[in-house]
């Protein structure tokens, strides 16, 4: 065999190996691209952190997931003034782990006796962004809530005037109304008349759970939006009740039928800016959940963005997650979008069975011991 032929063959072999190497690198690059997701840093527009010793657990869990969070005011006693909200914010900031930039955004607790001039104080505050209306008795620590919507029309007028968001727990509390119908009744009997009286009122219907609520929001102008939790996207009442009662799925508003879950997934993944992330993560010690009268609330903070990624991935809409998690809420509140990013990797991620909570107690996270398909790195 001539030297020229040998050299020619050598060039061919080297070329083939180079092509294979390039194809292999391309394959790995594509595989990495298909199995990673980079998002603008998300925010949680509805979270419960509690107070005191609970903050040692709840603040780091939430701060590792989100840049900002709307921190709900249903403490004991509730946070009713701007001054109280700012003091609560300082208590939260004291528990943010070193190296994390976490910005708690505060909310006042709406009562029958909230003075109208408190709205101007909210508007002028750098860190207080909204007021939260709990119908009296609707959920945890809501006994001081609004007893009759017309009693707070003077404050609502100021909220509309100053464009301060009104956050709503959208359920009636009449004992004779079926628990699965309370959201729909709230829309018909309270929210519709309120918006008729104050059509420019800026409203967030929190943690919606029904097709009725989703469609209601879609029918309103841009001043009405909604948050959706991970549990209402991933689960329905069968998950809570079939095969035995599972208390860690119990929350308020309660999980509804699968048909409602399907609608929530459709609107959450639609790219419509009226719908954005709000975990409603709510901590309760294990013994308070697992008893004859278990507390309402799912603790999703430690794995929140992975739970949402799982829900969006299940319907093939991962490309819509960034808007829902990182953009639409900031835009609605008139706050700047975050500029930092996070990365999610598609790999098995087992949710912890429990976490330490308070003094020697445990807290059970949502989906404890189960495997998610995404992990925040």
pLDDT in tens, 43-61: 999 999 999 999 999 999 9
Task: Determine the pLDDT at residue 28.
Answer: 44
280 a catalytic residue: yes
Half-sphere exposure of 164 (CA within 13 A, CB side): 29
Task: Determine the pLDDT at residue 27.
Answer: 47
Catalytic residue among 44, 280, 356, 359: 280
Task: Determine the pLDDT at residue 12.
Answer: 75
pLDDT band (50, 70, 90) for residue 6: low
Q: Is the pLDDT of residue 29 over 70?
A: no
Task: Determine the pLDDT at residue 137.
Answer: 72
Task: Determine the pLDDT at residue 309.
Answer: 98
| pTM for the full predicted model | 0.91
Per residue in 141-189, pLDDT tens?
676 889 999 999 999 999 999 999 999 999 999 999 999 999 999 999 9
**Range in 134-148, 206-220, 224-238 the model is least confident about:** 134-148
CA–CA separation, 307 and 9 (whole Å)? 55
Rounded to the nearest integer, the mean pLDDT of the chain is 94
CA–CA separation, 109 and 96 (whole Å)? 23
Query: pLDDT > 90: what percent of the chain?
Result: 88
Q: Is the pLDDT of residue 4 over 80?
A: no
Q: Is the pLDDT of residue 307 over 90?
A: yes
CA–CA separation, 157 and 153 (whole Å)? 6
Q: Is the pLDDT of residue 345 over 50?
A: yes
Task: Determine the pLDDT at residue 13.
Answer: 63
- Mean pLDDT of all residues in 118-129: 98
What crossing angle do the helices spanning 258-268 and 211-219 adopt, rounded to 10°?
30
Cα–Cα separations (whole angstroms), residue 69 to 48, 59, 280, 317? 9, 10, 10, 24
Query: pLDDT > 70: what percent of the chain?
Result: 90
CA–CA separation, 175 and 22 (whole Å)? 68
- Mean pLDDT of all residues in 110-138: 95
Tallying the residues shown for the chain, one arrives at 377
Domain extents for the chain?
A: 38-376
CATH tag, 38-376? 3.20.20.140
* Residue for token pair 């007021």: 131
Task: Determine the pLDDT at residue 30.
Answer: 44
Q: Is the pLDDT of residue 79 over 80?
A: yes
**Range in 9-23, 91-105, 264-278 the model is least confident about:** 9-23
Task: Determine the pLDDT at residue 31.
Answer: 43
Contact indicator for 337, 40 with CB cutoff of 8 Å: yes
* Residue for token pair 């996070």: 342
């Amino acid at each position: 065999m001539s030297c020229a032929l040998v050299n020619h063959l050598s060039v061919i072999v080297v070329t083939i190996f180079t092509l294979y190497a390039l194809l292999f690198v391309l394959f790995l690059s594509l595989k990495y691209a298909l199995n990673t997701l980079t998002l603008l840093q998300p925010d949680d527009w509805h979270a419960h952190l509690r107070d005191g010793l609970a903050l040692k657990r709840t603040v780091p869990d939430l701060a590792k997931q989100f840049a900002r969070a709307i921190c709900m005011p249903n403490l004991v006693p509730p946070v009713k003034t701007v001054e109280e909200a700012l003091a609560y914010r300082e208590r939260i900031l004291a528990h943010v782990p070193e190296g994390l930039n976490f910005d708690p955004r505060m909310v006042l607790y709406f009562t029958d006796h909230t003075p109208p001039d408190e709205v101007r104080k909210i508007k002028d505050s750098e860190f207080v962004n909204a007021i939260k209306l709990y119908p009296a008795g609707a959920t945890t620590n809501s006994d001081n809530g609004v007893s009759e919507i017309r009693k707070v029309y003077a404050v609502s007028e100021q909220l509309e005037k100053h464009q301060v968001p009104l956050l709503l727990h959208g359920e009636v509390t009449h004992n004779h109304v079926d628990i699965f119908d309370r959201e729909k009744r709230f829309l018909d009997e309270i929210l519709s008349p309120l918006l008729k009286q104050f059509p420019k009122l800026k409203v967030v219907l929190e943690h919606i759970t029904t097709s009725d609520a989703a469609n209601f929001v879609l029918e309103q102008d841009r001043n009405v939006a909604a948050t959706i939790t991970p549990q209402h996207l991933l689960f329905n009442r069968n998950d809570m009740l079939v095969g035995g009662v599972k208390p860690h799925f119990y929350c308020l508003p309660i999980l509804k039928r699968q048909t409602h879950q399907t609608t929530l997934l459709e609107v959450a993944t639609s790219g419509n800016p009226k719908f954005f992330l709000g975990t409603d993560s709510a901590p309760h010690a294990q013994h308070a959940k697992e008893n004859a009268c278990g507390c309402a609330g799912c603790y999703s903070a430690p794995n929140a963005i992975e739970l949402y990624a799982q829900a969006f991935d299940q319907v093939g809409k991962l490309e819509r997650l960034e808007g829902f998690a990182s953009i639409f809420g900031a835009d609605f509140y008139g706050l700047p979008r975050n500029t930092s990013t996070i990365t999610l990797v598609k790999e098995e991620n087992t949710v912890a069975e429990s976490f330490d909570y308070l003094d020697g107690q445990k807290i059970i996270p949502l989906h404890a011991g189960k495997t998610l398909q995404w992990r925040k790195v």
